[in-house]
Structure 1
């Protein structure tokens, strides 16, 4: 049903990402307000809610979802908590924007997919924000238009300044390369059929036991090949780049051509230091489009199928990372709801 008036959103998880979404809905997004915040850290939730008129703090997602002022849910809690929150939202038939990952593994993602199918309609949009980035949108339109013929290869770079304590090799796939997994599937409209991971001698800046950088190779159902340089302790900045090579031309995004300065005999610019600044506009666009679609009574954007497919490819990637062997990806048949 079309939602008249302002959409009341419950934000589940008030850490860095959740707090940023609270700010975004309050200060940037039109047609919505933060009606509730949920966190197991009651003090943090109360502090955040106290700064927003008409916002109530909860420690239990289920309690927030039964509140009459809540019309939709934005999930920004840690991945292992997503499944329970999603299933609870389905019980109330609430629209959901769920930050990636949908769930931490393919098996739990399948359970979510089965539950959504029982509703008979889509309710979840998964937060793969690159699909809303202006540069990625231009590249997608170019490839869909067929100007350069069939896309043969994608060359991707994904660099972070540094990693937090406890960052593991598995996390390079599950937390970082997962974005290239989704953008590959989206840009090419193909599934990833196999993954290979090559691990050169680690950088001296890599923490102990972390292979950094790595080169991840995807093969796709349409015969394309994709390479991803993942370098999570590069030290100098946050960079996400993608070059599509077609039969008769190529296109590259992510070079970061911001303002260039000339001073003291030098020219140069700035490099983003994290994903929050690099993709700020994409997050704004993502949330606004989710709100607009929800108020129209629609669900758009990356689906539960996309979240499941990404989880399945991540699992193949971690196996390839561990064994050093090319690893095939296994997907169930795509249900009609997601075609």
Structure 2
């Protein structure tokens, strides 16, 4: 297909604006047709210098614009379900930033709607599946190079949390990436979650339980521990170590250049996910555009989005109750098998 793919971008905040820039400058075969954001001034700023882009306050109006052949959802999670259902009704492929929807029940409704249509159209933006280090680790584990994987040790740190962040969002918004990465790396479903609550950091806003230690159990007996610390103060860090029966492998320790000079070593630490995973986002969107132009979707599915949401909800129950919470997954439709 030689025709450029017209994309409607829903949401012009930090992530949406980055995707607009990416589609305009870094991804061949696509262009931005429409942008929607309740803050029209922010939307206009995000498309400054791009010709022919229509700006809307309403997401559904952008989806309905002539020339839209695909939709990229980067709006707040409460708006995802309506946008996804509208795209499904029009038969449009979608790249939806996580979470798929605002809760597991809504995510399951999206899954059911897509399955009824009989065609995969939705891809969820779990970009770590496109990161070079994660891809290398996945290949190693799939090859059996360190034997059967017994444990994953994960670290996820942010400089500071957004003002609206709650203790539950450390799991539902942040650890959701580790949930998906664990399911993908291991090829297993998460069956139970336990959350350990260290004393809160003095840097955490009042009332925020930060950090947390989240323990995931899988249906094949692997265990995944996740340190989530969203007010560490010094940088954005994501790392994962896989421990197998015959060895271990670790990624994420030194993604940036280390300079040794004048008796000391210095390394720049990324300050947010857009910087740390820039290459992964580029690869993700390029592959999504190429797939959409060929009428297929190959990335993380709506089912993956639902499964992550269901595990995250169990994690929030464990956080609140202080115990171990089992994950209740719906039966996976044959459509996703």
Q: TM-score, normalised by structure 2?
A: 0.97
Structure-2 residue corresponding to 1:71: 69
Q: Which residue of 2 aligns with 1:300?
A: 298
1:66 and 1:207 map into 2 onto residues whose CA distance is: 41
Closer, same or farther: CA 203–65 of 1 in aligned 2, 3 Å: closer
Q: Does 1:111 align with 2:109?
A: yes
The equivalent residue for 1:58 is: 56
The aligned residue for residue 290 of structure 1 is 288
Aligned partner of 1:12 in structure 2 is 10
Residue 276 of structure 2 is matched in structure 1 by 278
Task: Show the counterpart of 2:79.
Answer: 81
The residue aligned with 1:21 is 19
Offset at 1:200? 1.2
- How many correspondences in the alignment? 337
Contact 1:71–1:95 (Cα < 8 Å) also in 2: yes
Name the SS for the 1:73 alignment partner. Answer: strand
Secondary structure of 2:51's counterpart equals coil
Greater shift in the superposed pair: 157-166 or 25-34: 157-166
- Kindly tell me: are residues 125 and 176 of structure 1, through their superposed partners in 2, closer, same or farther at Cα, counting changes over 3 Å? same
- List alignment gaps of at least 5 residues for structure 2: none
1:153-302 to 2 correspondences below 5 Å: 153-302=151-300
Structure 2 counterpart of 1:38 = 36
Q: Is the 8 A contact 1:36 1:49 kept in 2?
A: no
Comparing 267-276 with 131-140, which one deviates more in the overlay?
Answer: 267-276
Structure 1 range deviating more: 17-26 or 47-56: 47-56
> CA–CA distance in 1 between the matches of 2:261 and 2:178?
36
| Contact 2:93–2:122 under 8 Å retained in 1 | yes
Contact 1:49 1:56 in 2 (8 A): no
Match in the other structure for 1:316: 314
- Structure 1 gaps of 5+ residues are none
Structure 2 residue corresponding to 1:120, chosen from 118, 121, 125: 118
Q: Secondary structure at 1:169's aligned position in 2?
A: coil
What's the CA shift for 1:6? Answer: 0.5
Contact kept? 2:20, 2:47, Cα under 8 Å: no
Aligned to 1:92: 90
The Cα offsets for residues 57-97 of structure 1, whole Å up to 9 and x where unpaired, read as: 12222222222211100000000000000011111100000
Q: Which moved more, 1:29-38 or 1:203-212?
A: 203-212
The alignment partner of 1:68 has SS state of coil
- Shift in alpha-carbon separation, 1:42–1:166, aligned structure 2, 3 A: closer
Distance 2:260 2:145 in 1: 36
In 2, Cα distance between equivalents of 1:115 and 1:199? 38
1:231-278 CA-to-partner distances (Å, cap 9, x unmatched) read 111111111000000110110000024222123321121111111100
Does the CA-based 8 Å contact 1:12-1:39 persist in structure 2? yes
Whether the 8 Å CA contact 2:155–2:239 is kept in 1: the answer is yes
> Is the Cα–Cα contact under 8 Å of residues 256 and 271 in structure 1 kept in the other structure?
no
Root mean square deviation, CA, Å:
1.1
Decide whether the 8 Å contact of 2:159 with 2:233 is kept in 1. yes
Question: For residues 273 and 151 of structure 1, what CA distance do their matches in structure 2 show?
Answer: 31
